[in-house]
Amino acid sequence: MSDWLRRLRRPDLLIALALLFLAALAMGPGMLPGRTPLPLDILGLFEPWRLEWPAAANPEVGDAVLQFSSRVFMAESLKSGHLPLWNPTVMAGHPHAGDTHSSPFYLPLLLLSWCCHPLTAYKLQLLLQMWLAGVFMFLWMRALHLARLPAAAAAIAWMLAGVQQIWLPFPPFPGTLCWLTAIPAAWEVARRTGSRRAMAGGALATGLAITAGQLQFFLYGGLLLGLYGLLRLAASPPEQRRRGIWAGAAIAGLGLALGAVHVLPTYAVALDTIRPPFTWEALRQTGLPWRQLVTLVAPWFMGHPGRGDYRGAQNASELMAYVGLLPLLAALTAWWIRRDRLTALFSGLALLVMAIALATPLAWPLAHTPWLQRFGLMRWLALWPLVVAPLLALVLDAVASGAVHPTRFHPARSRRPGPRRPGPNPPGGRLLRPRPGGCGSCPWPRRCRRRSCCCPFGWTPRAAAKCRRPWAGWSPRPWP
């Protein structure tokens, strides 16, 4: 991973700073001194503030205010020198360890609560999570060898997606989502290079995603990322496939071990839950109605909860699937603009997520899976922007490189009948021998100036100096 980190030059740092500024801008006046993004207007729904308090902008996120007392209790406990495990201030007592909304073992929350005022810690946690969501999406796209600007566009689409914004006042939701993109970014680096640092980073991201609190999002995201990894391994060379399997096992195993400190108490508390498992017929009722798809284009077409005129199913916050018009257009046109394995992969995952959220027969196994049968299908919409944002990056990358015309799906078949000699010799006079039929495993089939060359930049003298290792598993051999 050290070689990969050395490639993070000044433009990458500038993009990270731009994402931080954009996150602070999206937070709005709540980031100013003396302000808070905590939706305190929800108090207007309760006595004695009902008559003199303004109407709540979104009464559906009021849990953030009702559960803020647990953050105050956590700050007081940490500053007094002990870890909060039992909260005696809630009725006759409440298990703080095992409460998914309190996130008692989430490391960023513990550090912020220990050194800051609870309101300041709340503000900084929201800003940090939104910024990390964009940064990790950017690193994931860069690990897939996409250009900087398309990767930055995907990062902006992910961090400003509707699900990120509408659940912003409720930290466990964006807290789990922001770490989900760090896991595939680290795995891609470990699969390609075998870096142990990348495996450790992926395991740490997995543990933080678990301890952030929203285990439902982690379970859904884990299933989706697991399918992503299996499909990526199926299209990888044998050596990368072996490294990818070991990296995935290490990230999953170590990550679950780190997250066990939160999973085990949560499991013990969940055994006393009164929520019954859904049957298939009951689970279908929790899905997204087909008429609600109009909110993909106009998020408040069915009404706004703040105005009290919402006429859609369930509630607007749970069914928020808006990701932006440009990412949606890119998702719909990606297969006609760029036909390669990555586009097929993310398009298939996007269709799968939407099919499950719509309660099609693809969601039937969830009704027979332990614990997953207790959760509604509408929460799958939180993963919709996670697979649509990469499609935006893929489309913009193809447009920027000029490869906007469809090509054959199988990249192992070149349009030219046979291999061609690459351009100028790289340093040392050693070339890469292509397979018969052209460059079969090159991840840049459109950028390559000569299709029989295995270097993503083409064998120009300047680009050859940058190419430090064979790409896609090729070994250097002298040209006959």
Supply the pTM of this predicted model. 0.81
Q: Is residue 175 part of a domain?
A: yes
Quick: pLDDT tens for 258-312: 999 998 988 888 877 667 788 888 888 888 888 889 989 988 888 887 777 888 7
- Domain assignment of residue 449, given as a range: 411-480
Q: Counting Cβ atoms within 10 Å, is residue 457 exposed (0-12), middle (13-18) or buried (19+)?
A: middle
Q: Are 427 and 469 in contact (CB under 8 A)?
A: no
265, 397: one domain? no
**Rounded CA gap, 233 and 230, in Å?**
5
Predicted pLDDT at 44 = 75
pLDDT of residue 325: 92
Establish if 40 belongs to a structural domain.
Answer: no
Give the 3-state secondary structure of residue 165.
helix
Whether 158 is covered by a domain: the verdict is: no
**Which of the listed residues 217, 248, 273 is the one where a domain comes to its end?**
273
Q: Do the beta carbons of residue 134 and residue 19 sit within 8 Å? A: yes
User: Looking at the predicted structure, is the pLDDT value of residue 408 above 70?
Assistant: no
Q: How many domains does the chain have?
A: 3
pLDDT at 97 over 50: yes
Same domain, 432 and 309: no
Same-domain status, 256 and 325: no
- Of residues 395 and 370, more confidence is placed in 395
Nearby residues of 184 by Cβ (< 8 Å), 6 or more positions away? 140, 143, 225, 228, 229
- 262 in the same domain as 136: yes
Q: Where are the alpha helices (DSSP H) in 338-381?
A: 341-357
Do 205 and 176 sit in the same domain of this protein? yes
Please indicate, yes or no, if residue 51 is contained in any of the structural domains: no
Do residues 10 and 132 both lie within one domain? yes
Backbone angles phi, psi at 477, to 5 degrees: -140, 150
**How far is residue 320's CA from residue 309's CA, in Å, rounded to a whole number?**
16
Does 429 map to a domain? yes
By the 8 A CB rule, do 255 and 206 touch? yes
- Encode pLDDT of 420-479 as tens digits: 444 444 444 334 443 333 344 444 444 444 333 444 444 444 444 444 333 333 333 333
Residues belonging to the chain: 480
Amino acid at 207: G
Residues 71 and 141 in one domain: yes
Bridge-partner residues for 184, per DSSP? none
Which of 254, 273, 292 finishes a domain? Answer: 273
Partners of 440 in the beta sheet? Answer: none
Chain segment 109-126, per-residue pLDDT in tens? 999 999 888 889 999 999
The token pair at 71 is 């953050």
Same domain assignment for residues 210 and 302:
no
Burial class, 363, CB count within 10 angstroms (exposed 0-12 / middle 13-18 / buried 19+): buried
**Cα gap 160→385, rounded to integer Å:** 10
Same structural domain for residues 282 and 374? yes
Same domain, 263 and 206: yes
Q: Are residues 309 and 198 in the same domain?
A: no
* Whole-number Å distance between alpha carbons of 123 and 126: 5
> Does a structural domain hold residue 338?
yes
Instruction: Name the residue among 224, 157, 136, 187 with its Cα closest to residue 396.
Output: 157
How far is Cα 304 from Cα 299, in angstroms, rounded to an integer? 9
pLDDT at 403 (0 to 100):
59
Query: In the block, which residue shows the tokens 């949606």?
Result: 328
Q: Is the per-residue pLDDT at 317 higher than 60?
A: yes
Q: Which of 380, 406, 432 is the last residue of a domain?
A: 406
Q: What are phi and psi of 94, to 5 degrees?
A: -145, 135
Is the domain of 71 the same as that of 117?
A: yes
Q: Examine residue 424 and state whether it is found in any structural domain, yes or no.
A: yes
Q: Quick one: DSSP state of residue 450? A: S
Exposure class string for 306-316: b at 16+ Cβ within 10 A, else e: beeebebbbeb
Query: What phi, psi does 304 have (nearest 5°)?
Result: -115, 135
Residue 281, CA distances (Å) to 9, 312, 364, 376 in order: 53, 20, 10, 12
Please say if the pLDDT value at position 39 is more than 70.
yes
